[in-house]
Amino acid sequence: MSVQPLPAAGPARMPSAHLAVQTPAVRKGGVRIVDAVKIYGAQDAGILAVDHCTFDVPPGEITVIVGPSGCGKTTLLNAIAGFHSLSSGSIHLDDEMLCGRGKLKAEPGPDRIVVFQNGALFPWKTNIDNIAFGPIMQGRMSRAEAYDKARDMMADAGLRGIEQNYPGEISSGVRRRVEIVRALMNNPKILLLDEPYRALDSLTKSVMHEALLEIFYKNRVTIFFITHDLEEAIFLGHRVVIMTTRPCKPKKILDIDIPHPRDYSVLTTKRFREFMDETAAAVHEEAIKAFAAGEKER
């Protein structure tokens, strides 16, 4: 199969110009969660999903949240993204209050972009239409500018040749990469990834991890990553936050001092095993609690 050459773009096109812009002098995208509480249903009779949760997501780093399925991690992510309100507490992004006293629901916006568990590329738009969607909707770029930038970014991410294909025509691994490029098009301060690799097989997953790190090293965008896979968490994260099961609050916060850039050889190092040993028991304990709670509900 021959790869289609890029159609000539406008004369003023400077390759990779956006990369230079995106290397910030001051790192941005730090999130501070203070005393966050979320109760579903009535205040007194509802279900406590998030219980006085306080931690920081350092700017320019990868923070991974680990916890059993259904523990309330996604609730926290939804509060940051602005899909749900908090019951009390506050969330700040850099110096800006997203939600807190008097305004318990944040507004969704292009500074915090979510990559969804099952993927949310619009199947009715071609890959390039998907990627150019954000800036056009925000009125930040003209159509021509947006498509030029989208084409550059796709080429940069090794996605050349599938611009005019629909998401349904490419493999699920490539779809995730397109979705991350769609997010990066908007120069977000933080990427919120909600178990994005859950549905992938473990081999594809390992390729995706390295691809994600590569994107991170290039863009230095803050990443908030939710998973239930401890190995994935330690491999990717600067910081790993282990959550208790419902209600969700940090049980253990670890700073992973394995130096970046990392690749798959890290998995066999002694330091990596030490982190696994240190955390496996804590995660397992929560998994058992979650399992028992699930049994009771049924």
Ranges of beta strands (E only) in 100-219 are 112-115, 190-194
Q: Identify the three-state secondary structure at position 24.
A: coil
Report the residue number, 148 or 179, with the smaller CB distance to another protein: 179
Q: By CB under 8 A, is residue 116 in contact with another protein?
A: yes
Distance CA 298, CA 177 (A): 38
Q: Which amino acid is at 216?
A: F
**Which residue do the tokens 């730090």 mark?**
30
Among 168, 281, 295, 296, indicate the residue that binds another protein (CB under 8 A). 168
Choice from 34, 37, 97, 170 touching another protein (CB under 8 A)? 170
Burial of residue 25 (CB within 10 Å: 0-12, 13-18, 19+) is exposed
Q: Does residue number 83 form part of the binding site for another protein (CB under 8 A)?
A: yes
Is residue 18 part of the contact set for another protein (CB under 8 A)?
Answer: no
Read off the tokens for 156: 């940069």
Q: Which C-beta is closer to another protein: that of 51 or that of 210?
A: 210
Burial 158-175 (b: 16+ CB within 10 A, else e): ebeebbeebbeebeebbb
Among 24, 166, 267, 294, binds another protein (CB under 8 A): 166
Asked if 133 is part of the footprint of another protein (rule: CB under 8 A), the reply reads: yes
Rg (CA), the chain: 20
- Candidates 36, 146, 162, 184: give the one binding another protein (CB under 8 A): 162
269 binds another protein (CB under 8 A): no
Task: Examine residue 210 and tell whether it contacts another protein (CB under 8 A).
Answer: no
From 100, 108, 250, 294, residue interacting with another protein (rule: CB under 8 A): 108
Q: Find the binding residues for another protein in span 175-204 (CB under 8 A).
A: 182, 186
Q: Where are the beta strands (DSSP E) in 73-232?
A: 88-93, 96-99, 112-115, 190-194, 222-227
Q: Alpha-carbon distance 174 to 159, whole Å?
A: 8
Position among 16, 35, 142, 169 found at the interface with another protein (CB under 8 A): 169
Q: Binding to another protein by residue 164, rule CB under 8 A? A: yes
Classify 247 as helix, strand or coil. coil
70 belongs to the binding site for another protein (CB under 8 A): no
Q: Which two tokens stand for residue 285?
A: 């304990």
81 binds another protein (CB under 8 A): yes
The window from 49-57, 66-74, 110-118, 236-244 that contacts another protein (CB under 8 A) reads 110-118
Task: Using CB under 8 A, list all residues that contact another protein.
Answer: 1-4, 81-83, 108-110, 112-114, 116-120, 122-126, 133-134, 137-138, 140, 158-159, 161-162, 164-174, 182, 186
